[in-house]
Amino acid sequence: MNYYAERRKKIAASMSDRSALILYSGVAPHFSEDEYYLFEVNHHFHWMTGMDRPKQALMIRKNAETVTEILFIEQPDPAMERWIGKMPTKEQAVQISGISDVRFIGDMDTAIGQAMERFGVEQLYMDVYRHAVSDPADYNLEQALRLQQLYPAVPLSPLRPLIAPQRAVKDDEELRLMRKAGEITRQSLEEVMRRLRPGMKEYQVQAVFEGSCRYHGAEAQAFPTIAAGGKNACSMHYEENHDELAEGSLILLDLGAKYRHYCSDISRTYPVSGTFTPRQKQIYELVLAANKAVAEAAAPGIPIHKLNEIADKVLADGLIALGMIEKQEELRKYLPHGVSHPLGMDTHDLMTEDGILQPGWVITDEPGLYIDEEGFGIRIEDDLLITEDGCEVISAGIIKEAEEIEAFMKKED
Ligand SMILES: [Mn+2]
């Protein structure tokens, strides 16, 4: 079975009659002089083809229930291969993607012309996503603007609403990669616990984690590593990681390996000296209880935002009992963020508009409490796979009980 063929079948099923989908893998943005940023393949393109090189494209045409697929790749060029290594051949592209009609990218515009004129395409689907108004257009958006100018009578529709509900549900191959990303993250967090000491710099903790991820086969980090000691944990997106870790303090780590384009997103909070103080443990246990309550509640049919209420209730009740707040509304003082988001190729992955959990979705479970006045913050984040009757904590192997963490750090001393 070819997973990519199965995925394309789902997208084609939701395309209208007499329509075409055109999707490019993209190009690496320019950095400076003769350098380019690392190439990141368009995630929809990779999801639909399994290919991950620049200057490739996919065209799907649908006409009276007949679906035609063409994959375009760069023509292998021996002179270029001397510099960059072997380029995939047509045969390899057929093998990976399951698309039998593979052509060279130089022939793409001819194929577009034929589709538009000869086959009377009346609807065009492209990736026209824009995150912020101020962002420069990415490659697919540029191409959409170009084709819109060439074919002003053919309406352009965003691909995103078709693909988002499908990408939210992970198939077996995606789950295999996500479990592997999670496993590398577990191994690398254990390496961090082995080496964590007072006096280390936050960036050294980051280096231990990231070096271990690469050592175990991850190609990149899922997102910039947060290694926030002490009060730095109270800044939600602290990424500077340049401070020294003090004796008796906590370090909040929010990080994850990326394995073959799939992300893991985990937070753990460790005592730098190997043991939690009673006060740290008190707050830690409260966050852990909220983390477990969310995993307990996550199930098909529940809207993802409902998980916020579940975490908030546990945390607010706890803080009220500790006399830190008087009513639930005051919780925001200690918890400014939501507790869950979908996870996949994107760290904040795609989902349906209603956000109602379905089997096959992978979401995070990340409550936290940030006590600025006491100089520490705690977040515990797991990744959950929604199953038929609840969820599976796919990061269950990454220890999180306070006693387990203390025992692990002691043993490794
Ligand atoms: Mn997260």
8 and 55 housed in the same domain: yes
Host domain of residue 209: 169-411
Question: How many angstroms separate the CA atoms of 255 and 389, rounded?
Answer: 29
Instruction: Kindly give the distance from the C-alpha atom of residue 10 to the centroid of ligand 1, in angstroms, as a whole number.
Output: 28
How many structural domains are present in the chain? 2
Among residues 167, 202, 221, the one where a domain terminates is 167
Residue tagged 């990681």 (tokens): 241
Residue 409 predicted with pLDDT over 90: yes
Instruction: Kindly give the distance from the C-alpha atom of residue 146 to the centroid of ligand 1, in angstroms, as a whole number.
Output: 36
Residue 291 is predicted with a pLDDT of 98
Which pLDDT band, with edges at 50, 70 and 90, does 413 fall under?
A: low
SS (H, E, C) the chain: CCHHHHHHHHHHHCCCCCEEEEEECCCCCEEECCEECCCCCCHHHHHHHCCCCCCCEEEEEEECCEEEEEEEECCCCHHHHHHHCCCCCHHHHHHHHCCCCEEEHHHHHHHHHHHHHCCCCCEEEECCCCCCCCCCCCHHHHHHHHHHHHCCCCCEEECHHHHHHHHHCCCHHHHHHHHHHHHHHHHHHHHHHHHCCCCCEHHHHHHHHHHHHHHCCCCEECCCCEEEEHHHHHCCCCCCCCCECCCCCEEEEEECEEECCEECCEEEEEECCCCCCHHHHHHHHHHHHHHHHHHHHCCCCCECCHHHHHHHHHHHHHHHHCCCCCCHHHHHHCCCCCCCCECCCCCCCCCCCCCECCCCCEEEECCEEEEHHHCEEEECEEEEEECCCCEEECCCCCCCCHHHHHHHHHHCC
Residue 210 predicted with pLDDT over 90: yes
144 and 191 housed in the same domain: no
Instruction: Kindly give the distance from the C-alpha atom of residue 380 to the centroid of ligand 1, in angstroms, as a whole number.
Output: 10
Instruction: Kindly give the distance from the C-alpha atom of residue 47 to the centroid of ligand 1, in angstroms, as a whole number.
Output: 21
Question: How many angstroms separate the CA atoms of 147 and 128, rounded?
Answer: 12
Instruction: Kindly give the distance from the C-alpha atom of residue 223 to the centroid of ligand 1, in angstroms, as a whole number.
Output: 10
Residue 64 is predicted with a pLDDT of 85
- pLDDT, tens digit (0-9, with 9 covering 90-100), for 236-261: 888 899 999 999 999 999 999 999 99
195 and 131 housed in the same domain: no
Instruction: Kindly give the distance from the C-alpha atom of residue 80 to the centroid of ligand 1, in angstroms, as a whole number.
Output: 40
93 and 199 housed in the same domain: no
Which pLDDT band, with edges at 50, 70 and 90, does 168 fall under?
A: very high
3-state class of 14 per DSSP? coil
Which pLDDT band, with edges at 50, 70 and 90, does 31 fall under?
A: very high
Cβ(48)–Cβ(8) under 8 Å?
yes
Residue 120 is predicted with a pLDDT of 85
Q: What is the CATH number of the domain that holds 267?
A: 3.90.230.10
Instruction: Kindly give the distance from the C-alpha atom of residue 403 to the centroid of ligand 1, in angstroms, as a whole number.
Output: 24
Instruction: Kindly give the distance from the C-alpha atom of residue 41 to the centroid of ligand 1, in angstroms, as a whole number.
Output: 22
Question: How many angstroms separate the CA atoms of 299 and 391, rounded?
Answer: 6
Which pLDDT band, with edges at 50, 70 and 90, does 62 fall under?
A: very high
Residue 412 is predicted with a pLDDT of 65
Instruction: Kindly give the distance from the C-alpha atom of residue 394 to the centroid of ligand 1, in angstroms, as a whole number.
Output: 14
CA atoms in the 13 A half-sphere facing the CB of 257: 28
Instruction: Kindly give the distance from the C-alpha atom of residue 255 to the centroid of ligand 1, in angstroms, as a whole number.
Output: 8
Instruction: Kindly give the distance from the C-alpha atom of residue 377 to the centroid of ligand 1, in angstroms, as a whole number.
Output: 15
Picking from 302, 258, 300, the residue whose alpha carbon sits closest to that of residue 392 is 300
Picking from 338, 46, 381, 339, the residue whose alpha carbon sits closest to that of residue 182 is 381
- pLDDT, tens digit (0-9, with 9 covering 90-100), for 39-56: 999 999 999 999 999 999
Helix, strand, coil fractions of the chain, as percent rounded to 5:
40, 20, 40
Residues in the chain: 413
Among residues 138, 167, 196, the one where a domain terminates is 167
112 and 231 housed in the same domain: no
104 and 180 housed in the same domain: no
Q: What is the CATH number of the domain that holds 25?
A: 3.40.350.10
Cβ(213)–Cβ(183) under 8 Å?
no
Give me the mean pLDDT over the 260-285 stretch: 98
- pLDDT, tens digit (0-9, with 9 covering 90-100), for 309-359: 999 999 999 999 999 999 999 999 999 999 999 999 999 999 999 999 999
Cβ(44)–Cβ(261) under 8 Å?
no
Which pLDDT band, with edges at 50, 70 and 90, does 362 fall under?
A: very high
Instruction: Kindly give the distance from the C-alpha atom of residue 366 to the centroid of ligand 1, in angstroms, as a whole number.
Output: 6
- Say which DSSP state 107 is in: G
Which pLDDT band, with edges at 50, 70 and 90, does 400 fall under?
A: very high
Structure tokens at 252: 């909040």
Instruction: Give the pairing type, strands 250-255 and 226-229.
Output: antiparallel
Q: What is the mean pLDDT of the chain?
A: 96
Instruction: Kindly give the distance from the C-alpha atom of residue 245 to the centroid of ligand 1, in angstroms, as a whole number.
Output: 23
Residue 194 predicted with pLDDT over 70: yes
Instruction: Kindly give the distance from the C-alpha atom of residue 340 to the centroid of ligand 1, in angstroms, as a whole number.
Output: 7
262 and 355 housed in the same domain: yes
197 and 131 housed in the same domain: no
Instruction: Kindly give the distance from the C-alpha atom of residue 364 to the centroid of ligand 1, in angstroms, as a whole number.
Output: 6
Residue 117 predicted with pLDDT over 90: no
Instruction: Kindly give the distance from the C-alpha atom of residue 266 to the centroid of ligand 1, in angstroms, as a whole number.
Output: 7
Instruction: Kindly give the distance from the C-alpha atom of residue 347 to the centroid of ligand 1, in angstroms, as a whole number.
Output: 7
Residue 143 predicted with pLDDT over 90: yes
Give me the mean pLDDT over the 351-380 stretch: 97
160 and 230 housed in the same domain: no
217 and 317 housed in the same domain: yes
Among residues 151, 167, 183, the one where a domain terminates is 167
pTM of the full structure: 0.96
Residue 370 predicted with pLDDT over 80: yes
97 and 137 housed in the same domain: yes
Give me the mean pLDDT over the 379-396 stretch: 98
Question: How many angstroms separate the CA atoms of 236 and 225, rounded?
Answer: 12
Of the given ranges (77-81, 264-268, 270-274, 370-374), which has the lowest mean pLDDT?
Answer: 77-81
159 and 180 housed in the same domain: no
Give me the mean pLDDT over the 169-173 stretch: 98
Instruction: Give the pairing type, strands 220-221 and 257-259.
Output: antiparallel
